[in-house]
Amino acid sequence: MQQDMQRNMQAVRIHEFGGPEALCIEELATPCPRAGEALVKLEAVGVNFIDTYQRKGLYPVPLPATLGLEGAGSVVATGPEVRSIKPGDRVAFADVRGAYAECVAAPEQRLVPIPDGVSADTAAAAMLQGMTAHYLSQTTCKLGAQDRCLIHAAAGGVGLLLIQMARNAGAFVIGTCSSEAKAELASAAGADAVILYTEQDFKTEVQRITAGEGVTVAYDSVGKATFEDSLDCLARRGRMVLYGNASGPVTECNPASLASRGSLFLTRPTLFDYIASREELVERSSEVFRWVREGSLDLRIGHRYPLAEARAAHEALEARRTTGKVLLKPGANRGFAA
């Protein structure tokens, strides 16, 4: 270790899978960076829906676990064999376990530099949801002016970013959400049409809006409650991108139904396969940061909670009370060297 550090830190852990009450704030030993790792003092931690899946055990993690995958802050120490970063560097990440904490020991290879002029809050808000919207709109489907997209949960963290990237690519965008206030946010982000899917039948509305043509791509992160109707929104040879389970996982799909609905394509992607290599992680994050700096991508940080209030953040996220990004802010002034 290259600097003296406080020995203990606060972290939010689970000892068993469960509801938001399973989250406990605890005092833990500050990790010591091993070979190839850097110790990052976190200024901002991203809350993502995947954290709730891990907390519930839908995506099991070894217990006890410090939740969280995303954050931004400064390097305070490095382990042996770290070559590209040094104490004082500002870095961000989207796939390092244990981010709900004041510090995390992260592999150097999974850290990206935060560009000048980008705050830690913005960096933490841009990484996981930004790169998700990026791969969905640029790689899983390379959207263009010929596309008409359906984007569920349009006022959420991924949703607001995906609307903007789809619109910037020239696509026509139909968003869905659960309230008028959320619909206003989706429209402001650029959605051409917004459907209140808790009040209206979105399948009927999509057919009406597209004059019976359907959409070329359906981005479905809601899962169980919307999957079947989303398939029915697709045009012939349309692409169904099922990328989340906010209402519960989809557990059944008969491939023959893809044929009878018009030779549809179905994919169930995950970000981690789209940033698996260092090169792809750096390219994707750099482009997201470039768009943020240029002003072509507006990051909406809807909610900030102290780290110790992670439970309240999860409750709000799962009760559909959040919009845009949710951040946790680890306590300041706890004496870490920076």
In whole angstroms, the minimum distance from the beta carbon of 31 to ligand NDP comes to 25
In whole angstroms, the minimum distance from the beta carbon of 156 to ligand NDP comes to 2
Distance of CA 51 to the CA centre of its chain: 10
Contacts of 138 (CB under 8 A, 6+ apart): 165, 169, 287
In whole angstroms, the minimum distance from the beta carbon of 43 to ligand NDP comes to 20
From 31, 71, 244, 330, residue interacting with ligand NDP (rule: CB under 6 A): 244
The residue number whose beta carbon is nearest to ligand NDP equals 156
The span of 2-10, 42-50, 62-70, 102-110 binding ligand NDP (CB under 6 A) equals 42-50
SS3 of 272-315 = HHCCCCHHHHHHHHHHHHHHHHHCCCCCCEEEEEEHHHHHHHHH
In whole angstroms, the minimum distance from the beta carbon of 136 to ligand NDP comes to 8
Is the Cβ of residue 36 or residue 190 nearer to ligand NDP in the bound state? 190
Alpha helices in the chain (DSSP H): 49-56, 120-126, 128-135, 157-168, 180-189, 202-209, 227-232, 255-260, 278-294, 310-318
Is the Cβ of residue 298 or residue 318 nearer to ligand NDP in the bound state? 318
Collapsing DSSP states into helix, strand and coil, what is residue 135? helix
Is the Cβ of residue 60 or residue 88 nearer to ligand NDP in the bound state? 60
Contact 176, 182 (CB under 8 A): no
Which residue has 């899917």 as its token pair? 197
In whole angstroms, the minimum distance from the beta carbon of 320 to ligand NDP comes to 3
From 94, 322, 329, 330, residue interacting with ligand NDP (rule: CB under 6 A): 322
In whole angstroms, the minimum distance from the beta carbon of 4 to ligand NDP comes to 36
How far is Cα 38 from Cα 15, in angstroms, rounded to an integer?
26
The span of 8-16, 76-84, 99-107, 312-320 binding ligand NDP (CB under 6 A) equals 312-320
How far is Cα 244 from Cα 283, in angstroms, rounded to an integer?
24
Task: Examine residue 122 and tell whether it contacts ligand NDP (CB under 6 A).
Answer: no
Collapsing DSSP states into helix, strand and coil, what is residue 17? coil
How far is Cα 332 from Cα 205, in angstroms, rounded to an integer?
48
Half-sphere exposure of 27 (CA within 13 A, CB side): 4
By C-alpha distance, which of 276, 257, 275 is closest to 265?
257
Task: Examine residue 14 and tell whether it contacts ligand NDP (CB under 6 A).
Answer: no
Instruction: Look up residue 184 and give its two tokens.
Output: 């206003």
In whole angstroms, the minimum distance from the beta carbon of 177 to ligand NDP comes to 3
The strand pair at 8-14 and 24-29 is best described as antiparallel
CA geometry: angle 141, 202, 164, nearest 5 deg: 40
Task: Examine residue 177 and tell whether it contacts ligand NDP (CB under 6 A).
Answer: yes
Count of residues in contact with ligand NDP, rule CB under 6 A: 30
Residues in 139-158 at the binding interface with ligand NDP, rule: CB under 6 A: 153, 155-158
Is the Cβ of residue 85 or residue 297 nearer to ligand NDP in the bound state? 297
Task: Examine residue 219 and tell whether it contacts ligand NDP (CB under 6 A).
Answer: no
Task: Examine residue 57 and tell whether it contacts ligand NDP (CB under 6 A).
Answer: no
Task: Examine residue 50 and tell whether it contacts ligand NDP (CB under 6 A).
Answer: yes
Task: Examine residue 38 and tell whether it contacts ligand NDP (CB under 6 A).
Answer: no
In whole angstroms, the minimum distance from the beta carbon of 222 to ligand NDP comes to 4
Task: Examine residue 166 and tell whether it contacts ligand NDP (CB under 6 A).
Answer: no
Residue 151: its H or E element? strand 148-151
User: How many other C-beta atoms can be found within 10 angstroms of the C-beta atom of residue 256?
Assistant: 8
Residues in 246-275 at the binding interface with ligand NDP, rule: CB under 6 A: 246-247, 269-271
Residues in touch with ligand NDP (CB under 6 A) = 48-50, 128-129, 132, 153, 155-159, 177-178, 182, 221-222, 225, 243-247, 269-271, 317-318, 320, 322
